[in-house]
Structure 1
Amino acid sequence: MSRLLSKTVLFTLQTLVTFLLLLFMKTHVLIYDKPCTNIAEDYIRVICSTDKYKQNTSRNVHIMKSDISSESEAVKRQLISVASEMTLERNMVLFTVVNDAYMPFVNSWLCNTKTMNIHKSVLIATTDALTRETLKTRWPEINVISLDMGTLSGNQTFGTIGYMKLIIKRAEMVLVLLLANIDVFIFEVDCVWLSNAVSSISFKEHHDIIVNPVSGSNSETFAGGFILLRSTCRTKIVWHKVTDVMMVLGERVKSLQDFGTFEEENEQEVLARLLRDGYGNVTIKMLPLEMYADGKWYNLSEEDRSKTRPVIINNNWIVGNKAKMKRAKEWKHWFLHDDYQTCDMERVHSVVH
């Protein structure tokens, strides 16, 4: 009897300690705007043992209402259901969010990567049902869901409120996938893949996040549109924080006009700040710009370009869909015929290696 009582008391004390540690993590990891840079390994170990954050193969995600408050339950469940089917063979999805105005870029990129055997791993979230149906009809191999955000149509350029709303939605959806123990490769379609970027990236078991630095940032800022997030506990902690910050911003901009200017901290700046500060003791791998180039590549001298061996080139550092498209065509990085529907496979074969 006394032995049973002792075990009961010990269990109660252990439960109390665990609760207090989790409360500490809730306060210091998920709420404070200022990153906590000295999170003890013991605290990380405790929170990583909970059902919500631990890394395993289960797809039974535990999502509190406060985690993704703006997403309907149906959309979340559809996302997890589709992604789970996709990852039966490989635990990673290539994920992006697009609206109707980005359809030419979507089609061009899908033509660009048509021979790379990656389309079954592609998951595209569209802002409306019509764009989803168009994509599924044109590209039956890829996976598409609709977010039904009908108001976010037209050109949503970088730095506008509408663009930020799309990025906030992407952050929310990525968190859902990570909490479902699915690795996420965030990518954008306004780019050219000169070879298979998925197979070209190698990482060690201890890498939680793989990032691509932004040109001219001294490797202190990372591209928001090319990130590999492994569904480790530490990644979940960091991305939960990113999503928390973005959700706060979302509340401030949700009633504002989509084409207004956004001047606050964006997703890639939030993530870079957390990673620089060692938030959640996360480990990262940085990709070389010589191989994973951004839009500054187009402005290099011919001599400097000859020193690079790009796997991909992101068509950024230029504003507006028309300007992006014009530059892609000038550099033969556009893979559609003039009907904007059919692939220019001759161009694909001449560019992709």
Structure 2
Amino acid sequence: MSLHQRQQSPHQQQQPLVDPEPLSPRHGTGLQQRSISLFSPTGVIILLSLMVILGVLFPWMGMPAGLFSGNKDGSLSRWREYTLAEAAAFVGKNGTIIVCAVSQPYLPFLNNWLISIARRNHQEKVLVVAEDYATLYKVNEKWPGHAVLIPPAPEAQTAHKFGSQGFFNFTSRRPRHLLHILELGYNVMYNDVDMVWLADPFPYMEGNHDVYFTDDMAAVKPLNHSHALPPPGKKGRTYICSCMIFLRPTDGAKKVMKKWIEEMQLQPWSTTMKSNDQPAFNWALNKTYSEVDLYLLPQVAFPSGGLYFKNEKWVQETRGRHVIIHNNYISGFEKKIKRFRDFGLWLADDHIQESPLGRI
């Protein structure tokens, strides 16, 4: 809505609807009209009436709640009603969405991850699933439309240690989010934000498989290794990483997500069984592999942190072939940042202007 007044023609100026200078006397011939002072009793009554009318009409007109209050949080509160379907339509215009799930303590990692994605020109596909309202508001304040909160939000807004109940509560929502996006008809790539893109991963999503994933093991595989689901390990299941997944909106991919949800319900977190989402994901793959088209991504392009950060010889031998680096096999917020810095992968210090969020 423009607040600028349109210039009036000389004819219009002779018959004004509103005096352009209500506190100045009108000059000219003809009938003299008396102006109503803003500070007169009549003016005050009119002003109060107008405020009441606007107060009634604005909510129905979809005006921001904080328009006159000056409260930034009020103007951002509209994002509470922003749905996953709306967000997916906004970021998934080419049919593919890149998803992460973030709580407020991990905003620095989000920025670092986003810089690496922006360098591959895929940032407009990114949808941040905010796990608290502070993250929802912050991201949408800086980058409108790219964050959504799917109720209910977890109560705690702290950085959860791996293996804690808070960590389980946080990660257990993941397959539901992914399933919903698949049911909306989009391809979806999920990343944890302790990752950095060194190249474009999408050329590696070759073929039309249902589910693409990476091995979480540190043992070196042959460069021409099989893309089939690896054999189970000592615990009777595979060791596939649940932190980098690409899914097509097929019945097979939906079946895996539903099985993942089911497995997490069967193995909830307890003080004696400190579950996380990854074993359940592996059980889901192991129990559906005969019905679903699965694809193991090449290790050289998607190495685990246990390989990339701990096998310097392998890194040198395969340099130039790495695509997404995952900073796992280490726990602790500060430890992860330090390791990224040590390997030249913490971009948020010197390249913050490349993030769609800027400095947060």
Residue 311, structure 1, aligned to residue 323, structure 2: yes
Query: Kindly tell me: are residues 139 and 330 of structure 1, through their superposed partners in 2, closer, same or farther at Cα, counting changes over 3 Å?
Result: farther
Q: For residues 18-60 of structure 1, give each alpha carbon's deviation from its aligned partner in whole angstroms, at most 9, with x where no partner exists.
A: xxxxxxxxxxxxxxxxxxxxxxxxxxxxxxxxxxxxxxxxxxx
Residue 114 of structure 2 corresponds to which residue in structure 1?
Answer: 110
Q: Distance in 2 between matches of 1:261 and 1:343?
A: 42
- Tell me by how many angstroms 1:261 deviates: 8.0
1:143 corresponds to which of 127, 143, 146:
146
Q: Distance in 2 between matches of 1:275 and 1:305?
A: 29
Structure 1: which amino acid aligns with 2:314? D
Pairs aligned (count): 257
Paired residue secondary structure (2:173): helix
Q: For residues 219-247 of structure 1, give each alpha carbon's deviation from its aligned partner in whole angstroms, at most 9, with x where no partner exists.
A: 43211110001110111122111112224
Residue 90 of structure 2 corresponds to which residue in structure 1?
Answer: 85
Q: Which has the larger radius of gyration?
A: 2
Residue 343, structure 1, aligned to residue 352, structure 2: yes
Residue 217 of structure 2 corresponds to which residue in structure 1?
Answer: 215
- Tell me by how many angstroms 1:145 deviates: 0.7
Q: Which stretches of structure 1, 4 residues or longer, exceed 6 Å deviation after superposition?
A: 74-77
When normalised by structure 1's length, the TM-score is 0.66
Q: Distance in 2 between matches of 1:196 and 1:261?
A: 41
Q: How does 1:180-329 map to 2 (within 5 A)?
A: 180-197=184-201, 199-205=202-208, 207-216=209-218, 219=230, 220-249=238-267, 252-253=268-269, 263-264=274-275, 266-279=276-289, 281-308=291-318, 309-329=321-341
Query: Kindly tell me: are residues 150 and 269 of structure 1, through their superposed partners in 2, closer, same or farther at Cα, counting changes over 3 Å?
Result: closer
Q: Distance in 2 between matches of 1:108 and 1:299?
A: 18
Paired residue secondary structure (2:172): helix
Which shows bigger deviation, 148-157 or 233-242?
148-157
Query: Kindly tell me: are residues 277 and 242 of structure 1, through their superposed partners in 2, closer, same or farther at Cα, counting changes over 3 Å?
Result: closer
Structure 2: which amino acid aligns with 1:226? M
Structure 2: which amino acid aligns with 1:315? N
Residue 131 of structure 1 corresponds to which residue in structure 2?
Answer: 135
Give % identity: 25
Q: For residues 146-174 of structure 1, give each alpha carbon's deviation from its aligned partner in whole angstroms, at most 9, with x where no partner exists.
A: 24525231111221111111111112111
Q: Distance in 1 between matches of 2:272 and 2:141?
A: 35
Paired residue secondary structure (1:292): coil
Equivalent pair of 1:191/1:312 in contact (CA under 8 Å): yes
When normalised by structure 2's length, the TM-score is 0.65
Q: Distance in 2 between matches of 1:130 and 1:277?
A: 38
Paired residue secondary structure (1:93): strand
Q: CA RMSD in A?
A: 2.6
- Tell me by how many angstroms 1:93 deviates: 0.9
Q: Distance in 1 between matches of 2:80 and 2:294?
A: 30
Query: Kindly tell me: are residues 180 and 290 of structure 1, through their superposed partners in 2, closer, same or farther at Cα, counting changes over 3 Å?
Result: same
Q: Distance in 2 between matches of 1:122 and 1:223?
A: 21
Q: Distance in 2 between matches of 1:82 and 1:182?
A: 12
Q: Distance in 2 between matches of 1:196 and 1:315?
A: 18
Q: Distance in 2 between matches of 1:326 and 1:344?
A: 21
Which structure has the higher relative contact order (CA within 8 Å, separation 6+)? Answer: 1
Q: Distance in 2 between matches of 1:235 and 1:75?
A: 29
Q: Distance in 2 between matches of 1:202 and 1:146?
A: 28
Paired residue secondary structure (1:186): strand
Query: Kindly tell me: are residues 132 and 76 of structure 1, through their superposed partners in 2, closer, same or farther at Cα, counting changes over 3 Å?
Result: closer
Q: Distance in 2 between matches of 1:175 and 1:337?
A: 35
- Tell me by how many angstroms 1:200 deviates: 3.1
What runs of 5+ residues in structure 1 fail to find an aligned partner?
Answer: 1-73, 346-353
Q: Distance in 2 between matches of 1:329 and 1:222?
A: 26
Q: For residues 73-99 of structure 1, give each alpha carbon's deviation from its aligned partner in whole angstroms, at most 9, with x where no partner exists.
A: x989810221133323x2221111110
